Amino acid sequence: MTSTPTAPPAFWQVEVTLPRSALPPLEAALEPLSVAISWIEVDEGQDLWTLQALCVDRPDDAVVLPALALAAAAAGVPEPEPVVIRIEGRDWLAQSAIAFPPLRAGRVYIHGSHHTEPPPVGSWPLRLDAATAFGSGDHESTRGCLLAFDALARQGRARNVLDVGCGSGILGLAAARAWACPVLGLDIDPESVRVARFNVHRNGLGAFVRVVPGVGVSGRLAQERAPYDLIFANILARPLCALAHPLSKCLAPGGRVILAGLLTRQAAQVLSAYRRQGLVLERRLVLGAWTTLVLRHPPRRGTCR
């Protein structure tokens, strides 16, 4: 007797676009109803973010609409109309294998848990699955950072690495895999810290990588570990400009900073902010609409303040 395969369950997705400040109370209201919640920035200049909540059952309007009204009122914006759609059941593991095939960026080889083939000889393998934290290697800004890192690794090795806004931890993990050096990852988002720590553990790099909550480089641990030979900062243009002074002060003489998360039209603004701190542009990578900048601290004495 053959059994009939059970159809994968369907889900419901609630999607709302609001300013970032309005999303936490809305997320808190939807969290008991959902199995996953993500935020996606849709317009940096207008501070607009889309919240997507994936639910097993269709969410009750009596819960969603009052929560949405309170969130909009708290942000001082008109109440938007939520978009609720049904997502038909799929074999998500098979879909993941199709949607997230192994990815190479220089010698960095990123693969999901569904991929069981041995990594290419001479590569630096990292096991990462699609998750709630940013950084799977397929976005142009992350890929640009990895390609820039691979090029720097051909010139030598770093002894001390900092990853600001680490997301999934992918950049710091790549450095630890390649160099077996100390890496500190910082992120303002608690979920990113959780995911990055999980990825550190599953890749067996706990002896080298530490991930902690942090804003910029103002925390005690970030200060104590400075100066850094290499700093990753894959965030957004405005915070990159704001961090130009503190990041430059934490960079060792001769050290490099890899900046990403900026659109090509924003590159001149970010580059100017770091040049004012005395850093020198070494390389510029353009992938699609995104630019990655590699800058070097001139070989002179500096302190981290």
State the binding site for S-adenosyl-L-methionine: 142, 165, 187, 234
Beta strands in 44-102 (DSSP E): 48-55, 83-87
Both tokens of 167, joined, read 């997301």
CB-CB contact of 69 with 27 (8 Å): no
| Spatial separation of the C-alpha atoms in residues 228 and 210, rounded to whole Å | 15
Specify burial of residue 202 (Cβ count, 10 A radius: 0-12, 13-18, 19+). Answer: middle
Query: What is the bridge-based pairing of β-strands 103-105 and 108-111?
Result: antiparallel
User: Which is nearest to 240 in space by CA: 283, 200, 279, 201?
Assistant: 279
Q: Which residues are known binding-site members? A: 142, 165, 187, 234
- The CB-side HSE value for 217 (13 A sphere, CA atoms) comes to 28
